[in-house]
Amino acid sequence: MALTIEQNPLYTLNPVGQELIFTVLDTATVGAYFNVKYVAEVHIAETDIDLAVATDLVGTFKTTPNNTGAGMYDFRPIVESFVSPDNLAALGSEYKLEPTTATTTHPIA
């Protein structure tokens, strides 16, 4: 049996703060060897990723298998460090044009 990805995020687009959990499993290797570590390379790029060239390599991460032989990764903190807010309402927002004070009221609905 080879290394398999048992769990990955359901959607390709996720909001910031959403956990990006990956679970990998290789029961044959974990059962036959001691001190097994799973290694994951994370690549982030705006274009297609070429694994032969490591220009877009963000990092290499290791994890130890749990009692069932599965290794778990949460890549949320790594991916969050590469995103930034769009601030689409910076020019057209009613609340950013005037100075907001303690007495300024804003509608809720």
pLDDT at 38: 94
pLDDT at 17: 84
Give residue 96's Cα distance to chain centre.
31
Looking up tokens 């069932």, which residue turns up? Answer: 68
pLDDT at 31: 87
Residue 33 near residue 86, CB atoms below 8 Å: no
Q: Which residues of 52-67 are buried (b: 16+ CB within 10 A; e: fewer)?
A: eeeeeeeeeeebebee
| Structural domain spans, the chain | 4-97
Q: Which stretches of the chain score pLDDT less than 70?
A: 1, 85-107, 109
pLDDT at 12: 84
pLDDT at 54: 81
pLDDT at 84: 73
pTM, 2 dp: 0.69
Euclidean distance between CA atoms 49 and 57, whole angstroms: 9
